[in-house]
Structures are given as C-alpha cells and as structure tokens.
Amino acid sequence: MLQGGVLAITDNVVLSLNEVLNVVRVVKNEAVEEINPMIVTQASSLSSLPVDSLSIDLVTLISKSSDFSGDKLFEEFSRVLKPGGEIFIYQTSDVAKETVKSSLERKLLVTGFSDIQVVQKAEIQSFGIKGKKPAWKIGSSFSLKKPVKSLPKVQIADDMDLIDEDSLLSEEDLKKPQLPPVGDCEVGSTRKACKNCTCGRAEEEEKVQKLGVTMDLENPKSACGNCGLGDAFRCGTCPYKGLPPFKLGQKVTLSNNFLAADI
C-alpha cells in the first residue's frame, strides 16, 4: 500500500478527491482509498509549492492546458519529492498531440527525472506521463569497485630447453673497440706535433724548419695553389700548415707569439 504523502496539483478551480484517487490508482495499480492527498488548485500562477522538501512520495499534475507548469514548477516537483518518489502528469485535453508529449518528456529529463514513459489506459481519457526521481541525493558519493586484473602466471618446466644468451654473440662482438691513444695529434688541442707523433705532422714541421722559417718568409710558392688560403684549404703534407693566409709571391710576416714555443 502507498505510504507517505500525495500531492495533487491542478489548474482547475475545483478538483474532486475521487478524480485524484483515480489518477493515483492508475499510477500505483493498488488500493488507494486510505490516502489523504494534499490538493493545490489554480496553481498556474505558482512559482513555488507550500510543501517541505523531500516530504512527498507521489506528485500528480492534472491539467487541461498544454503549456501549464513552467520549468520553475518542475524544479519544485523535484524538490518536494523524496528520493525514489514518482511524478505523474495527467493531460485532460481532448487533443493529445505528440508535440505536447515530447515537451513534457523533455521537461522531466531536464529536471532530472528518470524512467519516463507515456501511460495510455482506458481509465484515463487522454494520456499521462510518468517519471521517477533518482533514489540518490544530489551531492551524494559512493565508491566504485574496480575489477582486479591479475597478471597471467607463466609456468616454466624444468625440462624446457633454454638458450644461452652468450652463445648468440660472435667473436667479433666480444672484441673490445680500440680507442686512439691519448697523445695522438688528431685528438690533441694544439696544432703542433705531440710527443711520439705517428701521424706525420712531426716530419712536416721538420721540413718547415729546414726551409729556414724566420720572421720573414720570402716568395712562398705552392704546388697546388691553395697554400695561401689557410689551413682549411691546405693539403695534409703542406709545408705552410699552421701559417696564416698569404698571397703567393708576397712576403709573409709572422708574429712573435707564433714562433714562441707552446708550454
């Protein structure tokens, strides 16, 4: 049997108790003779309901006009209903247009009602739309239980043949790379030959010294024509390597710090 309060709202001037009980009987499909509903008439101008929040189990809206009850009044329906409470809109107009049904369904959805369905029975002349307020309250929280996924177990048999990783390496892979000696001219920071020079730079420096390089280098000559352009263009065995750029046939002057020995 229906427990709790029932609120009946209408835009009519008068609404009989029997009419309200008939509508409630259609919604609940049970005996409702002992129900004492609260009836609010001429409610088309209301913006709020004189009812406490979360105190009503069922709200019935009985209306002839298709545009009765605005969005604000629908919010009031949700406010006064208990969690899990129901609402039933009974449209008594002669023409039950599909646009009216869609409009009422949309208002219920926007307000937050669920389980919305159209009710058409012989007991009611036109049609009705039923909805339900969710059982949870706004702002309530609950934890979600996530399924625990266990990793697949890998079983290795004792008699399984395993490959030795070292056997996949060849003799070339096991050889250590040969690094150039630290004192080599190619890795040194200076341009002059280092001790124990093996790249040939020491021999080239000796050739330059044999030319009698002094503060003045008279009439330099080049076999390739690039000696005067600088070290970037000179050959690896160029006797002028290390000297500043010069023009062939002209006198080359060396600065004092160029002839100073590196420490």
Residues annotated within a binding site for [4Fe-4S] cluster: 224, 227, 235, 238
Per-residue b or e along 2-26, where b marks 16 or more CB atoms closer than 10 Å to that residue's CB: beebbbbbbbeeebeeebbbebbbb
Q: Where are the alpha helices (DSSP H) in the chain?
A: 17-28, 71-80, 98-111, 171-174, 201-210, 256-259
Residues of each annotated binding site for [2Fe-2S] cluster: 185, 194, 197, 199
Q: Residue 231 burial (CB < 10 Å; 0-12/13-18/19+)?
A: middle
**Helix/strand/coil percentages in the chain, nearest 5:** 25, 15, 60
Distance CA 58, CA 109 (A): 17
What type of residue sits at position 221? K
39: three-class secondary structure by DSSP: strand
Tokens of 22: 């008939």
Distance CA 21, CA 18 (A): 5
Residues of each annotated binding site: 185, 194, 197, 199, 224, 227, 235, 238
Please give the DSSP secondary-structure letter assigned to residue 122: T
Residue 190's closest CA among 201, 178, 179, 203?
Answer: 201
CA atoms within 13 A on the CB side of 168: 4
Contact 58, 86 (CB under 8 A): yes
